[in-house]
Amino acid sequence: MKRSHPICLALVLLAVWGAYANSFSGGFHFDDFHAVVDNPAIRSLRSLPRFFTDPTAFSVLPANRTYRPVVSASLALDYALSMAFSAGRGGYTPFWYHLTTFLLFLCEIALLAALYRLLLDRIRPSGANAWLALLAAAWYGLHPAMAETVDYVIQRGDLYCTLGCVAALYLYARLPQLRRYGLYLVPFALAMLSKPPAAVFPLLLFLYGCFFEAQDGSAPGRLRRAALASLPAVAATAALLWLQAAMTPKSYLPSILSPWSYRLTQPFVWSRYAGELFLPLHLNVDTDLDPFARLNPEAWAGIAFVLVLFGVVAFALRRRPWHPVAFGLLWFVVTQLPTSLYPLSEVENDHRMFFSFVGLVLAVVWGAWLFLLRLLGEASVARLRAILAGAAVLALACYAYGVHQRNVVWHDDESLWLDDVRKSPHNGRGLMNYGLTQMAKGAYPQALDYFTRALVYSPNYSTLEINLGVVNGAMADAGERARVAEAERHFLRAISLAPSDDNAHAYYGGWLYRHGRSAEAIAQLKSAVVLNPQRLMQRDLLVQAESSAGDVGAALQYARDTLRQSPDDAIALDAVRSLPAHDAAKWIDLSLSQYRQGRYSQAIESAKKALAFEPDNADAYNNIGAAYAAMRQWDDAIRYDEKAVALRPDFQLARNNLAWARAQKAAQK
């Protein structure tokens, strides 16, 4: 037994590897784009400290910026690995991102096998416990619902959250002599810095203490001991939740749904999740389930499910051999509470099963085992162990095939969103995203068809209006000139629906630029940069538009600003390398001429344009300082003169100007 069990665990991990073998070439999807692909912060390991101090580094979308520094740090490491080992393919080779997620997933499965065995041995020591624990861990690892997290790069936050809590509980249970040092709180802290649902850990620890620690004494005494034991975790959770709240920007917008309708829908969602454990037929990247506005039949069905669930918990609570069932079901409930009580943008998401299935799998496996023992007796079960093992292996093989199929779905955007529109045909966002995959292939009529169908379900969706503008513009460029006005109408409606959305301004600005309307394009692109300075798309377009309009200095300034944020931005690099730098001298000469004519404000502007070409030009700083001095703005004059002298210490004219400005300022006092 001692020898065969590690071998079987290795075989389980190998089977999981085989099930996910076709996942490593899967692409980036959905939220991956704003948090990974378009996020310049992850492109440098120098950003690692920033992730822990600046939540805006998590995403380029203001509404999605939250505090998950461990997730962002791991993405930066993956980007560095991809740059180092992808033979010139850049930092976004999906293999490295999927490999990191998958290896940690294997660690979680091995840890679950150990935790499950420990828990079962505390209740009913038996040689069968190791195999039951291995079966539960294998079922979890080979369940297709887990692929919804493992295949989705940015949702590794759920994996880190779950792994950290499982590791913390295992350390607490396995090494009681080290509890006083708080070692078990380290993986929990990492979980909290990955995703807030880890905040339920003190409740899980409390339940563990109630069900699996010493059972002597009265029930109130056991509850009191479990509560006291969980206090360090409560204190750590409070501190980390305070940090989370303090670091989350005000721009973060988790939901626009009615809290009442959202919460009314959750019992039904729980029933769907529980059903997916047995028959995972409805797995879907983006549901079309709408929140319930009233108590409809589905809402009542969800309430009935919750009542049955708590009825089973009540039954298991009164019988010590059934405590793992109660613990597992309460684990399911507790881990669902954060996403059920706190309204989010979707009422259900398949990756929310990842944390909860840890307990649900344990409850079902142990409950089925106790039922078999009661139904057949231990002797009969022992005689049937080969048949039972074969049935378990066959069931696991079916689930593994399901994983393989979900990996096929997650391979690229087209396969993912085609699956979505088939399963959620009333989902406007899903229809739009599948239309985007058709537009990317140049199938504009098909894209327009899906966008139009999406309008039925999402009539006031600004992103959909942007894409309608893009596809109409593409069709106009292909010869259907009548669609030009239609494209502009959709862009303008997108801006009217979401005036603070930088995407609407950026895409409209790009369309204007391509149609030769440079002045309008620059205005829209500048608005986009102001609304969201982190997104590179509008910055790159602005560099091109300013250069095309003839303002080379402005183009260079935006290019240099972009390179400070993203040193490897190709468009900004090309602009800095190709745009003529000798124009700085022309602007300095013009600035000097304007100064002599008494046009001091214009002299300052011209000198600043020279600085766009040559940021360290001492003559430009001296001209600005002299102009401010002529306007008797001594503080500004001193500041620019000091910069000129710092850049060129032997610049006697600048030194004289600085001394005169200081003297004039002192004389005013």
pLDDT digits 0-9 by tens, 402-451: 999 999 999 999 999 999 999 999 999 999 999 999 999 999 999 999 99
| Local confidence band at 249 (pLDDT 50, 70, 90 cut-offs) | confident
Structure-token pair, residue 409: 């779905």
pLDDT at 332: 98
The Cα 141–Cα 400 span in angstroms is 9
Q: Where are the beta strands (DSSP E) in 480-576?
A: none
pLDDT at 403: 97
Q: Which of residues 609 and 133 earns the better pLDDT score? A: 133
Q: Please tell me the least confidently modeled range out of 361-370, 499-508, 595-604.
A: 595-604
Per the CB < 8 A criterion, the answer to whether 291 and 327 are in contact is no
pTM, two decimals, is: 0.85
**Can you spell out the DSSP letters for 470-504?**
HHHHHHHHTT-TTHHHHHHHHHHHHHHH-TT-HHH
Whether the per-residue pLDDT at 231 is higher than 60: the answer is yes
Per the CB < 8 A criterion, the answer to whether 284 and 410 are in contact is no
| Local confidence band at 478 (pLDDT 50, 70, 90 cut-offs) | confident
The Cα 294–Cα 297 span in angstroms is 10
Structure-token pair, residue 199: 């905040």
Structure-token pair, residue 491: 């862009």
pLDDT in tens, 57-114: 999 888 888 999 999 999 999 999 999 887 666 789 999 999 999 999 999 999 999 9
* Of residues 225, 131, 118, 123, the one with CA closest to residue 172: 118
Whether the per-residue pLDDT at 252 is higher than 90: the answer is no
Q: What is the average pLDDT score of the chain?
A: 92
Percentage of the chain beyond pLDDT 70 is 97
| Local confidence band at 251 (pLDDT 50, 70, 90 cut-offs) | confident
The Cα 447–Cα 106 span in angstroms is 39
Q: Find the helix packing angle between 652-668 and 634-647, rounded to 10°.
A: 150
Q: Which residues of 544-577 are buried (b: 16+ CB within 10 A; e: fewer)?
A: bbbbeeebbbbbbbbbbbbbebbeebebbeebbe
* Of residues 462, 451, 456, the one with CA closest to residue 494: 462
pLDDT at 527: 95
The Cα 494–Cα 459 span in angstroms is 11
pLDDT at 266: 96
Whether the per-residue pLDDT at 582 is higher than 60: the answer is no
* Domains of the chain (ranges, CATH numbers): 4-406 (no CATH), 415-578 (1.25.40.10), 585-668 (1.25.40.10)
Q: Which residues of 333-358 are buried (b: 16+ CB within 10 A; e: fewer)?
A: bbbbebbbeebeebbbbbbbbbbbbb
